[in-house]
Chains A and B, each alone.
Chain A
Amino acid sequence: MKKITRREFIGKSSITITALGATIYLNPFEAFSGDPDKDLFWDKAPCRFCGTGCSVMVGIKDGKIMAVKGDSESSVNQGTLCVKGYSLPFIQYGMDRLTRPLVRMKNGQYDKKGELTETSWDKAMQLITDKAKQAIKMKGPASVAMFGSGQWTIWEGYAAAKLFKGGIGSNSLEVNARLCMASAVAGFMTTFGMDEPMGSYDDIAHADIFILWGANMAEMHPVLFSKVTERLLANRKSQLINLTTISNLSSRMAASEIIFKPQSDLALANGIANILIKENMYNKDFVKKHVLFKSGKENIGYGLEDKFVFQEEDKVVNFETYMNYISAYTPEYVEKISGVSPSDLLNLAKLYGDSKLKVMSFWTMGMNQHTRGTWINNLVYNLHLLSGKISEPGNQPYSLTGQPSACGTCREVGTFTHRLPADMVVAHKEHRKIAEKIWKLPEGTIPAKPTYHATEMLRALDRGDIAVFWSMTANPFQAFPNLNRYRNGALKDGRFIIVSDVYPTRSTEIADVVLPSAMWVEKEGAFGNAERRTHFWKKMVDAPGESRSDLWQIIEFAKSMGHGKLFDFSPLDYPIPRQHKASDASLTAGIYMEKALWEEYRQFGLGQGHDLAPFEAYHETRGLRWPVINGKETLIRYREGYDPYVEKGAGIQFYGNRELENRAIIWLRPYEPPPETPDSDYPFWLCTGRVLEHWHSGTMTRRVRSLYKAYPHATANMHPEDAKMLELKDGDKIKISSRRGEVILHVEVGGRVTPQPGMVYVPWFDEDVMINNVTLDAYCPISKQNDFKKCAVRVDKIS
């Protein structure tokens, strides 16, 4: 009998169905068709994609995810989703899913120049362990590095931190979140002494004015944008102002779109503050009671050289000094730098200054991926502190986050080289002692010195200071700026690269070992979103083949390295769950590993303003926003009546700065130019980013047929005037080159985004358009976050 291939089957089915006139759009995977309510078993989970943290209901049948729907019991998304969220049932079932460990081999032996060959977990883990032990012996523990992700579950990040800092004795732990929200963290820490937003998404329903600072929310946070839209349509006073360098979809709902030149947001924010003071529109009482002024180091560099070091020099100054400092930012001067007219600037100041209007400012990568990212975060907080529009319903500065657990995992657990959980740092002896006590380790176990932040980690790999580099739930060899250097570095002899992922990527192609991971509801998980909401999910389906969760992989590696004790818990305290599927990590250990790690982890935050609830609470709810005190979540921090940490009668306390009389800091920060600006050789700005349909490097979303077809390729969006000048028409092939590399792609004129004249926009999701070969690896000296939004390029037509 002739076997029918999958492709033929699909082809035939499509024909049949079309002939019947039905409206089923056949997916290459078995798409669900039936009555979702009757035929499927439903359970809740946070969405796998962005930092919004929508709750989805997942429909299961016969061990497979068949459908999802927006969770109407979640205040985050209130029953809605975006098209990526609706595509969740397909992301697991791509045809080239990795299901077995692979090692690069020649003649049955590991060989860096060999071919990826299927092997057993035991053999792969033994090889990794040998390499790690050899590296530690030759170059010290810091030469073994792990690069994780804001898409790690909380316990995966926690296990990695515990193993690296408390076991291996290496602070060489970083995450892709360094590239995503480090400036947001540095902004929070320098201004408030405590990380993460004070408000929640609930504030949107109370705000009058929404100001987007370089954030195309309509595409990047579509569900939050729909909440903003709801408020705009319901409230006549409401207005959206889109401050941007690119004309984009968010402008559709905006009262005005204000285009500014790259990097000039620093001048804009100071210019608004200057008007607020000059025109007497600031909140004197609030400033007097709750604010302290500080100046810092200026002319701080860009981190372009290896081993770059920055040391802040801050001092407290008075209001007059601040007033004089920003008086230079006259509307005329700001216009010269930014291109924004004095009347637009005055209007913005009036919105921030009018005490009758409630204002929310939103930002993400525009402000964070910025060589002065910490500064611009500080400067926008300045506006909310000057106007007193902070920590009350509808009045909030709001730093949105990119990844589903950038907050929950990276920021709260502290999976960075310098960090420990609950805003603590390794450099602080008392902090190390607290961690050593909770981890039951002898004093002095945790190394006191941070080693490499993300960019420096890749540079250390290139130099040979790092010998073993393990990437999990990330795609660094597509995602890093100035990529040519780092890909070539990883391919050098003596560099051992391990990549744990679910599909082949640009990172697996240069890896020495590829490990197949379990994803999303194939494991038990927890994410923390951008409103301090911690949200759990249960394991619902089995992972294919021999794929294992990152948690299992970290613990097996720990055991293999002789640090298994770190994950020893009593089965009497933490018996394996019986009501739902136990994860691979739990089954292997014979205990409820996720619960054991959670209960240990939450000791870090109790009484420290980071209180997390007991484990069960999160499986029973659609998540809870910390601090959770006596079972009650906190919607607004720092204000009496909302936040139990604020003392009675105090009204407002920015208690992250307890030693500064609970005051928040208004920083004196200047405009400084970016490291590279267009010139006659490289006359265009390049800005990179995302599109609505694709998530990060496209590993998951480009395997979903309907998403692939909705946005198949990355193209270069250009302004019609620039296209005309270069004699380019829509669809022409071009080469974009910089001092670092080049990429070939097609130009798009009149697409859904139009950059300002003199700028090209290229999304980075497409592995056939490696735009990061072109980008610059400069970073904010304070946060160490790279700037993917500004570098100088040239555009040439290819005939």
Chain B
Amino acid sequence: MRFLKKLVTALLLLFIPIILDAYLHEYSKVYQERGLATGQPGINRFSGNPPGETTVLGRPYDGAPPLVSHDINGLAINGSENECLDCHMEGLELDEGNTATKIPASHYINEYTKEQKKDQVLGIWYNCFQCHVPQSEEEPPYSRENH
């Protein structure tokens, strides 16, 4: 019996701080706002490496559009030409082992209208920059913190 009493007391002593802590944690913790603000404006700096001289970045998740690893400044996309297609249409091999990511079959089909073209990227997939974006070297502020 005395043993049981001791055990209960010990258990209580052990758990009270935990329960108390849990309670305090529950309803009185000061919120440490992280947020995005750094207090400083920034510059958008991209690698500036020309097409063919970068390593493929891949996709944010399987099924998402691949990100652009190279400089896109000055690449023409207009009614008469689309310079992205020059390399990506066929997945051109640029130099030793460096291959442009080939445009998938999905870009030749409009699954809603059922329109399909053999050798032409359809208009709804034509503005590459709508989905494929380059990446600066900068990380978002919160991922610099230690979580």
Footprint of B on A, CB under 8 Å? 5-7, 10, 22-25, 27-28, 31-36, 59, 66-69, 72-75, 78-83, 86-87, 89-90, 94-96, 100, 102, 108, 115-120, 123, 218, 222-223, 225-227, 229-234, 249, 252-253, 255, 503-506, 508-509, 514, 692-693, 698, 702-715, 731, 733, 743-746, 748, 750, 766-769
State A249–B126 Cα separation when bound (angstroms): 13
In contact, B124 and A706 (Cβ under 8 angstroms): no
State A226–B61 Cα separation when bound (angstroms): 23
Q: Determine the residue in chain B with the shortest Cβ distance to A731.
A: B43
Q: Which residues of A contact B56 (CB under 8 A)?
A: 23
In contact, B61 and A33 (Cβ under 8 angstroms): yes
With an 8 A cutoff between CB atoms, is B96 at the interface? no
In contact, A86 and B65 (Cβ under 8 angstroms): yes
Q: Which residues of A contact B48 (CB under 8 A)?
A: none
State A226–B59 Cα separation when bound (angstroms): 22
With an 8 A cutoff between CB atoms, is B64 at the interface? yes
In contact, B136 and A87 (Cβ under 8 angstroms): no
Chain B, range 5-62, C-beta contacts under 8 Å to A: 26-31, 33-44, 56-62
In contact, B131 and A83 (Cβ under 8 angstroms): yes
Q: A31-B60, A731-B43, A744-B41 are in contact. Are A230 and B122 (CB under 8 A)?
A: yes
* Choice from A32, A692, A709 contacting B135 with Cβ under 8 Å: A709
In contact, B36 and A25 (Cβ under 8 angstroms): no
In contact, B44 and A96 (Cβ under 8 angstroms): no
Given A79-B106, A82-B131, 11 more contacts at CB 8 Å?
A: A27-B61, A32-B62, A67-B61, A67-B64, A95-B34, A120-B27, A252-B76, A504-B35, A692-B133, A704-B60, A744-B41
* Choice from A96, A222, A232 contacting B34 with Cβ under 8 Å: A96
10 closest Cβ contacts across the A-B interface?
A230-B123, A23-B58, A72-B111, A78-B112, A713-B42, A710-B133, A504-B35, A96-B34, A745-B41, A709-B135
State A48–B136 Cα separation when bound (angstroms): 25
Q: A108-B28, A230-B126, A703-B36 are in contact. Are A7 and B60 (CB under 8 A)?
A: no
CB distance from A46 to the nearest CB of B (A): 16
In contact, B41 and A714 (Cβ under 8 angstroms): yes
* Choice from A72, A83, A116, A708 contacting B30 with Cβ under 8 Å: A116
Produce 1/0 per residue, B68-80, CB < 8 A to A: 0000010011110
Question: In which size bucket is the chain B interface?
Answer: 35 or more
CB distance from B79 to the nearest CB of A (A): 6
Q: A34-B62, A709-B136 are in contact. Are A79 and B43 (CB under 8 A)?
A: no
CB distance from B83 to the nearest CB of A (A): 11
Q: Which residues of B contact A231 (CB under 8 A)?
A: 123
In contact, B147 and A83 (Cβ under 8 angstroms): no
Some 14 contacts from A to B, beta carbons below 8 A apart, are A6-B147, A10-B143, A23-B58, A31-B60, A79-B124, A86-B60, A117-B30, A232-B123, A253-B78, A505-B35, A692-B129, A702-B140, A703-B140, A706-B60
In contact, B61 and A89 (Cβ under 8 angstroms): yes
In contact, A226 and B130 (Cβ under 8 angstroms): yes
With an 8 A cutoff between CB atoms, is B110 at the interface? yes
Q: A24-B59, A233-B79, A768-B37 are in contact. Are A86 and B64 (CB under 8 A)?
A: yes
In contact, A229 and B126 (Cβ under 8 angstroms): yes
* Choice from A253, A503, A709 contacting B139 with Cβ under 8 Å: A709
In contact, A768 and B58 (Cβ under 8 angstroms): no
* Choice from B31, B58, B62, B139 contacting A117 with Cβ under 8 Å: B31
